[in-house]
Amino acid sequence: MASLRVLSRSQFRASAPCFSRGSLRFYASAKPQTLKERLAELIPKEIENVKAIKAEHGKKAFGQVTVDQVYGGMRGLPALLWDGSVLDAEEGIRFRGKTIPECQALLPKAPGGSEPLPEGLFWLLLTGEVPTEAQAKSLSEDWAARATLPEFVEEIIDRCPPTLHPMSQFSMAVTALNHDSAFAKAYQEGISKKEYWGPTFEDSMDLIAKLPNIAGRIYRNVFGSGKLPAIDKTKDYSYNLANLLGFGDKEAFVELLRLYITIHSDHEGGNVSAHTGKLVGSALSDPFLAFGASLNGLAGPLHGLANQEVLLWLMKMKSQVGENPSDEKVKEYIWSTLNSGQVVPGYGHAVLRKTDPRYTAQREFAQKHLPDDPMFKLVGKIYNIAPDVLLEAGKAKNPWPNVDAHSGVLLTYYGLTQMQFYTVLFGVSRAFGVAAQLIWDRALGAPLERPKSYSSEAIKKMFANK
Ligand SMILES: CC(C)(COP(=O)(O)OP(=O)(O)OC[C@H]1O[C@@H](n2cnc3c(N)ncnc32)[C@H](O)[C@@H]1OP(=O)(O)O)[C@@H](O)C(=O)NCCC(=O)NCCS
């Protein structure tokens, strides 16, 4: 039965007016507008919007840049345009203005599910609009249809020794997808600048679509868990990812992946993986090359690898103090980590100054699905103790937990115990945010990134006697 929905006239390509009430028009639609069609409508408006912002505010200053910022990893330096999400230090992430709980409430769900579909989140990141269920479903179908890997990419993965870290295998496979890049081909053929976003969109869709097969293949090769099943074209992205990993029969795990991908997708533009993708893309490297570079940044222990580090740290803690330790024992263990010159993984953040709402969303998931799990209880105990210890130690600007403090315990609960694989799942998710911005960067004609660097000698000279 055709559904009735309230639409702007432009939102439908093949729609026949049915009836109107007040200023609202109702359309019975045969086919929902595709994401690419909607983007094609939005891009000219956004180009005008950016032109107007530049005309009115282009010469205004954000503030001063200090020498400390140059030496200090550019913390707080306003330097990048990123539309998909904005991170507030106190409140956490908003995807196109929507908090995580708002996304959980508003985005389409799978039949019988209660977590948002990442398909809907991708639509939101790209357009700023919440898609209909039919539009989210059309993305599931599109991605399923694009999911097959070229044979040589399968061979590259199969030739990797199982001792090679899954993230290295992941980045290699993603980089190799550039063999079939629509953008690289179109560029060689002399595509006009105005058309860049079209093949970038196609590559980005292919990239996202192929990640489950890459991740599943790496997982099964490294951890020896049998042959990959085929993609089920009737199911959503997260189901297929779970199934390729061997967990398709665990509905709660599939729900976890829907939430996991949604909350890990984007965290504004300055973090290492997002910024790297944008930077490399600015050289007009195609989305596979750009996102391959993102993955190499995500593989660092201060960034995405922290989810692996957290679980290692928890396991070590458990082996030293037992599964149900006293508060005193947990405190001692945290101090011993700090005193040996290591960071407490999963705590602290370069921007956030409160508990990460991505941590809270996972905690709420655990409270609903695994309230009695001993490792979840241990994570909860650490949450009560670690911030005070970090405050007392006096170095970390943010003593609160981040996203990585919780994810591993949830995955472990469902049987995905191989912590070296956790950052791969983060990588699958991060593609959504990076790809969305790559498409907008090419649509808006973002130039090559080229900030200015200084030597210490030059800095000394510049400020001598000032
Ligand atoms: C995320 C992180 C890299 C942010 O770094 P940052 O912006 O430089 O953080 P700060 O400004 O608070 O760092 C100030 C000092 O506190 C230390 N610090 C920050 N977080 C810490 C933590 N969790 N444990 C111990 N020390 C920490 C820093 O190492 C730094 O020490 P230094 O002055 O000796 O170099 C940092 O908090 C960290 O290493 N956390 C653990 C790893 C992690 O969870 N990463 C995932 C992030 S989503």
Q: Which residue has the tokens 């921007």?
A: 351
Q: Atom 2 (ligand 1): residue with closest C-alpha?
A: 349
Whether 303 sits among the annotated catalytic residues: the reply is yes
The reply to whether 129 falls in a domain is: no
Q: Is the CB of 306 under 6 A from ligand 1?
A: yes
The DSSP result for 380-396, as a single string, is HHHHHHHHHHHHHHT--
Co-location of 245 and 360 in the same domain: no
Q: Is the CB of 398 under 6 A from ligand 1?
A: yes
> Is there a contact between 329 and 321 (Cβ–Cβ < 8 Å)?
yes
Ligand 1 atom closest to 73 (CA): 8
The reply to whether 289 falls in a domain is: yes
> Is there a contact between 129 and 38 (Cβ–Cβ < 8 Å)?
yes
> Is there a contact between 141 and 34 (Cβ–Cβ < 8 Å)?
no
Determine which one of 165, 264, 275, 349 is catalytic. 349
The reply to whether 43 falls in a domain is: no
Q: Is the CB of 396 under 6 A from ligand 1?
A: yes
* Structural domain total, the chain: 2
* Sheet arrangement for strand 14-21: 4-6, 24-31, 14-21
Co-location of 313 and 297 in the same domain: no
At residue 194, the pLDDT reads 97
Ligand 1 atom closest to 271 (CA): 48
Q: Is the CB of 400 under 6 A from ligand 1?
A: no
The reply to whether 179 falls in a domain is: yes
Determine which one of 203, 356, 404, 441 is catalytic. 404
Crossing angle of the two packed helices 327-339 and 374-393, in degrees rounded to 10: 50
**What domain range is 381 assigned to?**
304-414
Whether 275 sits among the annotated catalytic residues: the reply is no
> Is there a contact between 285 and 278 (Cβ–Cβ < 8 Å)?
no
How many A from CA of 343 to the centre of ligand 1?
A: 7
Nearest to 373 by CA among 415, 419, 336: 415
Which of 415-424 are b and which e, b meaning 16 or more Cβ less than 10 Å from the residue's Cβ? ebebbebbbb
Query: How far are the Cα atoms of 43, 56, 70, 384, 446 from residue 50, in angstroms, in the given order?
Result: 10, 10, 28, 45, 11
Whether 369 sits among the annotated catalytic residues: the reply is no
Q: Is the CB of 171 under 6 A from ligand 1?
A: no
Query: How far are the Cα atoms of 42, 261, 306, 348 from residue 219, in angstroms, in the given order?
Result: 39, 17, 19, 29
At residue 29, the pLDDT reads 54
How many A from CA of 298 to the centre of ligand 1?
A: 16
> Is there a contact between 205 and 143 (Cβ–Cβ < 8 Å)?
yes
State pTM to two decimals: 0.92
How many A from CA of 382 to the centre of ligand 1?
A: 17
* Residue of 343, 403, 406, 430 best suited for mutating to test ligand 1, as the one with most atoms within 8 Å of CB: 343
Co-location of 321 and 264 in the same domain: no
> Is there a contact between 235 and 145 (Cβ–Cβ < 8 Å)?
no
How many A from CA of 167 to the centre of ligand 1?
A: 22
Co-location of 387 and 249 in the same domain: no
How many A from CA of 348 to the centre of ligand 1?
A: 5
Within a 13 Å sphere around the CA of 82, how many CA atoms are in the beta-carbon half?
25
Spans in the chain with pLDDT lower than 70: 1-30
Co-location of 171 and 206 in the same domain: yes
Q: Atom 19 (ligand 1): residue with closest C-alpha?
A: 396
Co-location of 315 and 249 in the same domain: no
Which of 315-338 are b and which e, b meaning 16 or more Cβ less than 10 Å from the residue's Cβ? eebbeebeeebeeebbbebbeebb
* pLDDT tens profile 133-175: 999 999 999 999 999 999 999 999 999 999 999 999 999 999 9
The reply to whether 128 falls in a domain is: no
Tokens of 224: 């020896």
Determine which one of 303, 356, 406, 441 is catalytic. 303
* Residue of 395, 404, 429 best suited for mutating to test ligand 1, as the one with most atoms within 8 Å of CB: 395
The reply to whether 435 falls in a domain is: yes
Co-location of 192 and 288 in the same domain: yes
Q: Is the CB of 120 under 6 A from ligand 1?
A: no
How many A from CA of 97 to the centre of ligand 1?
A: 27
Co-location of 154 and 224 in the same domain: yes
The reply to whether 332 falls in a domain is: yes
> Is there a contact between 272 and 303 (Cβ–Cβ < 8 Å)?
yes
The reply to whether 349 falls in a domain is: yes
Burial class (CB within 10 angstroms; exposed 0-12, middle 13-18, buried 19+) of 392: exposed
Co-location of 164 and 293 in the same domain: yes
Q: How far apart are CA 120 and CA 107, in angstroms?
A: 6
Q: Atom 6 (ligand 1): residue with closest C-alpha?
A: 350
How many A from CA of 65 to the centre of ligand 1?
A: 22
Query: How far are the Cα atoms of 192, 275, 335, 369, 438 from residue 386, in angstroms, in the given order?
Result: 54, 30, 9, 24, 37
Co-location of 206 and 286 in the same domain: yes
Co-location of 397 and 311 in the same domain: yes
Q: Is the CB of 283 under 6 A from ligand 1?
A: no
Co-location of 163 and 145 in the same domain: yes
* pLDDT tens profile 366-387: 999 999 999 999 999 999 999 9
At residue 149, the pLDDT reads 98
What's 313's domain CATH number? Answer: 1.10.230.10
Ligand 1 atom closest to 398 (CA): 12
What's 287's domain CATH number? Answer: 1.10.580.10
How many A from CA of 410 to the centre of ligand 1?
A: 24
